C-alpha cells in the first residue's frame, strides 16, 4: 500500500459538468509534464494549454497547475488538469496521460490513495484523512461544519494535548521508578493523582464530544422491536410522517424489515422496523426475521413496543432481544394503543411511556425521550464529527486510565503498573491520529474512500 509510482485519477464526480479535474501525484512529475505539454510548468501557476493525441489532434484545451513537492495536497509533486467536464473527454485525457506517463510508471490510483499519500507524507493525520471522507459524505449542514473542524485539526489537537499530558505524567512516574531509593510518596508529592484526575476529566469531555460527533456523522440506528401486531409499522409511519410499511390487522404481515431514515431535530435516525419476530415455517418470513436479528445486533437504541392487550409471549421475545443486543445498547419500553385505554387504566400506567400510533398521542414525548437516551445534546458550537473507531479508542483509553487510577490508590507499590496503564492509554489515543496503527488497519480505512480522493 505504500507504492511509490505516480498515480492518476479523475477527482470530480462522474457525469457531465462544466469542469472535470484530473489529478496526478508522484515524486517528480517534470518528465510527465514535459511529455504532455512539451514544457516545464512554473509552480502554482494556472497555465492554459492544449493536450493533443498521438496523431496531433486536439483532445482538450485545459488549465494545468503544477504543485511542487512538498507544497501540495499529497506532499508529492501534483499536476492538476482542469479539463472540460465530459465523461468521454475525461476518459480520453486519462488515456493520453497514461500513454505518455508509461515510462514513468504512471498508474490509475486506488480508492483513497491520494489521501493515503497525504497521510504518509505527514500532511494530515489519520483523523483528518477520515474527516476528508466525512466532509464529502456529509448529509447535513451540521455534519459539513463538524467535518471541516475535524479536517482543520481541532479533534486531533485535543487528542494530541491529552497525549502530551499523559506523556508528562509518565515521565514523572518513570523517573521515580529509576530512583527507588528516594522514598518519597511519589503520587502525593508530584500531584500525580490530581493530574490523573485532570486527564480523566479531559478524556471524558472528549468522549462526550466524539459521541455527539458520531451521531452527527452516522445518525442513530434505531430498532423497532416487538411482537406481531403491536403497531410497529404504524409507529414507524407516524415517526416518518409517511406510509413506508404495510399496516394490516393480520399478524406477521410485515415480511421484511423496512429501513427508513428520518430526522428528529436534525439528528438522522435510521429506523428499522422488525418483521414480526416469531417462530415461522415460512421461508420468506424467516429471512426477514434473520435480518431483523442482524439489525438488532448493531442497534444504538431498541424501542420495544407492546400493546395494551396482547402481552402473550412477549416476555420470551424480550429475553431473546436483550441477549442479542450490543452490551451497552439501551432498550426503551413503549406501550402502544393508548387510545384503547380508559382514563383509570391510563392513570394506573402513569409511569409507562404510553403512545397511540393511531392518534399521534405521546409521539412528541417519545421523540424527546429518544434524543435524550441516545445522548444528543442539541446543536453545539465547535462540534466535530467522529467515527465508531474513534469512540472505541477513546473508550479503551478510558479503561486504561481507570485502571491506572486503581493502581495509584496502591501508592508507590504499584507504580510500575500505574505507568504501564498510562502507556497503554496513550497508545489507544495515538491510534486515533494514526500513530501506532498497524498497516492492515490503515489499508482498511483508506479502501473505504472513493477513487480520486
Buried b (16+ CB within 10 A) or exposed e, 208-247: ebbbbbbbbbbbbbbbbbbbbbbbbbbbbbbbbeeebbee
Of the candidates 42, 184, 205, 340, which one interacts with ligand GDP according to CB under 6 A?
340
Question: What torsion do the CA atoms of 290, 295, 301, 303 make, to the nearest 10 degrees?
Answer: -40
Of the candidates 276, 288, 430, 434, which one interacts with ligand GDP according to CB under 6 A?
276
The contact pattern for ligand GDP, residues 368-407, with x = CB under 6 A and - = no contact, is ----------------------------------------
Residue 249 interacts with ligand GDP (CB under 6 A): yes or no: yes
Q: How far out from the chain centre does Cα 340 lie?
A: 42
Q: Got the DSSP string for 89-122?
A: HHHHHHHHHHHHTGGGT-EEPPTTHHHHHHHHTT
Of the candidates 232, 257, 387, 428, which one interacts with ligand GDP according to CB under 6 A?
232
Of the candidates 28, 248, 263, 447, which one interacts with ligand GDP according to CB under 6 A?
248
Give yes or no for a contact between 334 and 328, defined as CB atoms under 8 angstroms apart: no
Of the candidates 233, 292, 426, 433, which one interacts with ligand GDP according to CB under 6 A?
233
Task: Give the nearest residue (CB) to ligand GDP.
Answer: 231
Shortest distance, position 343 Cβ to ligand GDP, whole Å: 16
Piece of 167-175, 310-318, 356-364, 421-429 that binds ligand GDP (CB under 6 A):
356-364
Piece of 31-39, 124-132, 311-319, 354-362 that binds ligand GDP (CB under 6 A):
354-362
Shortest distance, position 338 Cβ to ligand GDP, whole Å: 7
Per CB under 6 A, contacts with ligand GDP among 99-128 are none
Which neighbouring-strand residues pair with 239?
A: none
Nearer to ligand GDP, 247 or 437 (CB): 247
Of the candidates 336, 404, 426, 433, which one interacts with ligand GDP according to CB under 6 A?
336
Spatial separation of the C-alpha atoms in residues 227 and 254, rounded to whole Å: 11
Q: What is the DSSP-derived secondary structure letter of residue 43?
A: B
How is residue 244 written as a grid cell? 413506508
Nearer to ligand GDP, 1 or 340 (CB): 340
Nearer to ligand GDP, 172 or 230 (CB): 230
Spatial separation of the C-alpha atoms in residues 337 and 356, rounded to whole Å: 5
Residue 25 interacts with ligand GDP (CB under 6 A): yes or no: no
Q: Got the DSSP string for 163-228?
A: HHHHHHHHHHHHHHHH-TTS---HHHHTTHHHHHHHHHHHHHHHHHHHHHHHHHHH-EEEEEE-ST
Residues that bind ligand GDP (CB under 6 A): 226, 228-234, 247-249, 254, 276, 336-337, 339-340, 356-358
Amino acid at each position: 500500500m505504500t507504492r511509490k509510482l505516480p498515480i492518476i485519477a479523475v477527482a470530480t464526480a462522474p457525469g457531465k459538468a462544466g469542469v472535470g479535474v484530473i489529478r496526478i501525484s508522484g515524486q517528480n512529475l517534470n518528465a510527465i509534464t514535459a511529455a504532455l505539454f512539451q514544457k516545464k510548468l512554473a509552480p502554482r501557476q494556472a497555465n492554459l494549454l492544449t493536450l493533443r493525441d498521438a496523431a496531433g489532434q486536439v483532445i482538450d484545451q485545459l488549465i494545468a497547475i503544477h504543485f511542487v513537492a512538498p507544497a501540495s495536497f499529497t506532499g508529492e509533486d501534483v499536476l492538476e488538469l482542469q479539463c472540460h467536464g465530459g465523461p468521454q473527454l475525461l476518459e480520453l485525457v486519462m488515456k493520453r496521460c497514461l500513454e505518455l506517463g508509461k515510462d514513468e510508471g504512471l498508474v490509475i490510483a486506488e480508492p483513497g490513495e491520494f489521501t493515503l499519500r497525504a497521510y504518509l507524507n505527514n500532511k494530515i493525520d489519520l483523523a483528518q484523512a477520515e474527516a476528508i471522507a466525512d466532509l464529502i459524505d456529509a448529509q447535513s449542514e451540521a455534519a459539513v461544519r463538524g467535518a471541516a473542524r475535524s479536517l482543520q485539526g481541532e479533534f486531533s489537537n485535543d487528542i494530541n494535548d491529552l497525549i502530551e499530558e499523559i506523556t508528562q505524567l509518565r515521565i514523572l512516574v518513570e523517573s521515580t521508578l529509576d530512583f527507588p531509593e528516594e522514598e518519597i510518596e511519589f503520587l502525593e508529592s508530584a500531584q500525580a493523582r490530581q493530574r490523573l484526575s485532570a486527564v480523566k476529566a479531559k478524556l471524558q469531555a472528549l468522549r462526550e464530544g466524539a459521541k455527539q460527533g458520531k451521531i452527527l456523522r452516522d445518525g442513530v440506528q434505531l430498532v423497532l422491536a416487538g411482537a406481531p401486531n403491536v403497531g410497529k409499522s404504524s409507529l414507524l409511519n407516524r415517526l416518518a410522517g409517511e406510509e413506508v410499511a404495510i399496516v394490516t390487522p393480520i399478524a406477521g404481515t410485515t415480511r421484511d424489515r423496512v429501513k427508513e431514515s428520518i430526522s428528529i431535530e436534525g439528528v438522522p435516525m435510521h429506523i428499522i422496523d422488525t418483521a414480526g419476530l416469531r417462530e415461522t415455517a415460512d421461508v420468506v418470513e424467516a429471512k426477514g426475521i434473520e435480518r431483523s436479528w442482524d439489525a438488532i445486533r448493531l442497534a444504538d437504541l431498541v424501542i420495544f413496543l407492546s400493546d395494551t392487550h396482547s402481552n402473550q409471549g412477549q416476555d420470551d421475545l424480550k429475553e431473546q432481544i436483550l441477549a442479542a443486543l450490543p452490551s451497552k445498547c439501551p432498550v426503551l419500553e413503549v406501550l402502544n394503543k393508548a387510545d384503547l385505554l380508559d382514563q383509570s387504566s391510563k392513570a394506573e400506567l402513569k409511569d409507562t411511556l404510553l403512545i397511540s400510533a393511531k392518534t399521534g398521542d405521546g409521539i412528541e414525548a417519545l421523540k424527546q425521550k429518544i434524543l435524550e437516551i441516545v445522548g444528543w445534546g442539541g446543536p453545539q458550537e465547535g462540534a466535530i464529527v467522529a467515527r465508531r473507531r474513534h469512540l472505541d479508542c477513546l473508550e479503551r483509553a478510558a479503561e486504561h486510565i481507570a485502571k491506572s487510577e486503581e493502581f495509584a490508590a496502591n501508592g508507590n507499590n504499584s507504580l510500575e503498573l500505574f505507568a504501564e496503564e498510562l502507556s497503554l492509554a496513550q497508545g489507544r489515543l495515538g491510534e486515533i491520529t494514526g500513530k501506532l496503527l498497524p498497516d492492515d488497519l490503515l489499508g482498511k480505512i483508506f479502501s473505504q474512500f472513493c477513487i480520486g480522493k
